[in-house]
Amino acid sequence: MSSRTRPGYCRQDVNKTTWEVPEQYRELKQVGTGAYGTVCSAVNFRTGTKVAIKKLHRPFQSELFAKRAYRELRLLKHMKHENVIGLVDVFTADLSLDRFHDFISILLASFIGNQEDRVVDGFTKWRVLRMPLVRGNAIPCYNSTLRGVKEDLKPGNLAVNQECELKILDFGLARQADSEMTGYVVTRWYRAPEVILSWMHYTQTVDIWSVGCIMAEMLSGKPLFKGNDHLDQLTEIMKITGTPTQDFITKLQSQDAKNYVKSLPKVQKKDLQELFSKVNPQAVTVIECMLLLDPESRVTAAEALALPYFSEFREPEEETEAQPYDHSVDNSDLPLEQWKRHTFTEILSFQPQVVESRETAL
């Protein structure tokens, strides 16, 4: 960090971590921390807006960390959708590239982290998705969010308000108090089988699998595939999908994955209409199309939205599709200093969002 505070910035210490942020952000309170960063809630005293401020831990300690930091920033800048948490600002208190050591991102619709799992987007109350709470009526809120998503999804990354509007939170930002619903375990429950098997060729349908898992959980009130480890996760999946066909096995790039799948006992596919016998059959059809082992056969977002179940909820004119994300730099192998330079450039080129004040919004 710079030896002096940048003009217009102030330093605040929160739980032994120093935050150097623009002076309008006050009342910083830590709401979550993990291996890669810490999140604080804060208030913009100029607008009255509540935000989340995220600071990565030593983002440039290695090429791997630097690449991860760059990619996270690029994704946050890229995501512009009313149902996805928005990047309000990103900044560094370091005045030049040679002094550049860390940076901070500010996001709207932040998870505040109290016992009621409230999420605040300005003045609208949100709740992190808990299945028994929203079991039936929240499913339609996917219809404006299915397109263009390509990140791992799980209930802890989703929030819903009283109008049944959905918002996808910052990836990895949301934290839940229930120990059963934190960390790697919960991510695994919603992970597509091709990811577990190291297929290495992923498409947007990895998220369709996750959506199918979440939708099934909404309907039943409990996780559909609750594996204890990654191999047990596959076992739980195949108890319902049945063991893979030879065509599926042939597509696997990992020989170890092929050998493992071949060694599994043969299991017949379960009829989801019988498994969810008390559920609207059209809703079950959606899940059936999403939870196919072969990602090349799995329904796409556009195809899912065209299914009969969504017909009464759709507003096609409001369905936007994300612009393609350019992975060319992300996939490069660059030295640490080059990653720093790219990240510094992305920060300087960001145009902050204009957030309405409390008076204007009301």
d(CA 344, CA 32): 25
Q: Is residue 13 among the annotated active site residues?
A: no
Question: How long, in residues, is the chain?
Answer: 362
d(CA 77, CA 199): 28
Residue in 64, 45, 87 with CA at minimum distance from that of residue 354: 87
Active-site residue among 94, 152, 170, 207? 152
d(CA 341, CA 106): 21
Neighbours of 123 (CB within 10 A): 12
d(CA 47, CA 49): 5
Is residue 194 left, alpha or beta, with left meaning phi > 0 and alpha meaning psi from -120 to 50? Answer: alpha
Burial (Cβ within 10 Å: 0-12, 13-18, ≥19) of residue 103: buried
Cβ 50 vs Cβ 120: under 8 Å: yes
Q: Is the dihedral of CA 226, 229, 232, 234 positive or negative?
A: positive
> Could you give the residue numbers annotated as active site?
152
